Each structure stands twice: as structure tokens, then as C-alpha cells.
Amino acid sequence: MNFLQSRLNSGGWVNVFPEGKVNWPREDLRLRWGVGRLVADCQAPELMVLPVFHHGMASVLPNPERKGERQPVVPRLGNLVTVCIGQPINFAPLLAVLRGSGMSEKEVRARLTQEMQSALEELGREARMQHMKDFERWKWRWHHNTDVVPSILT
């Protein structure tokens, strides 16, 4: 976490999986407090969070079903993956309000983490809806029409 914090403080970017572990089987996990800490403790003049949610990766590179099983190293091609990128979130105004309200640092981190969780949950709903919309077209293209030319679905 200290390394990530130093990257943010110097104006760099970091990519984190905020559940803190591989989420398999898919569960609704709360985000770990560290994401709130990264935002709350950032010394950079501006900090934007870009939420990203993907749906369908489990069919491309599935995690082991049982303990002791190995993860496949060859991706399964021809599966639909939906990636949704949300709007950047500027947490500076909220951080200023929270700090001005007299909240403890622990409460500030918890509130920032909850805000990120809400943004990711909304983006997840969008991703799942988009995935279902694209599924019929994908099924026709890859299975019914036997299109063998890989391309990005748009």
C-alpha cells in the first residue's frame, strides 16, 4: 500500500482490485478499506478514480473450481467479455467536506470506500445489462453463423 501511495503522491496511476482477493465464485464483496486510504491519504493536487467493471472473464480464463485444481493457462477464445469504463470520479470535493465535518480518519476512509463501492455496483449493473444485450448478437455471430474471424464486438 505504501508503494501505491507513493505512486499516487507523485502523480502516477495505480490499478487495484478493490476486493483484495480473487472473487471466485462470484460474490458481492465489500471493498477493502485500503482503497479509501489511497484516496484519503493522497497528496497529489488532483486525484481521479476511474471505475472499471468487467463481466464474462470467468468463461475466458476460469478460476479453479476446487482446491488443488490448477488454473488453465490458455484462454478460451470466442467468449463474450463486456468491459464498462465509468466516468472519472473526482473525490477532492467529498474529501474536503468529510474532513471539514470533523470525522475521524477511519470514518473518512470508510465513507470514501463506500462511495467507490456504490459507483462500482452501478457500473456492474450497467455491465451485466450490456452483456445480456450483446449476448444474442454474440451467440448468433460465433455459434449460429460460425464467424471464425476474431473481431471486437462494438
What confidence tens digit (pLDDT) does each residue in 22-71 have?
A: 666 666 677 888 899 999 999 988 889 999 999 988 888 887 777 788 87
Query: For residue 83, what are the CA distances in angstroms to 12, 22, 58, 97?
Result: 23, 17, 13, 32
Do residues 44 and 12 touch, judged by C-beta distance below 8 A? Answer: no
What confidence tens digit (pLDDT) does each residue in 115-131 have?
A: 999 999 999 999 999 99
Per-residue pLDDT, averaged over 133-141, amounts to: 82
Pick the more confident residue, 49 or 143.
49
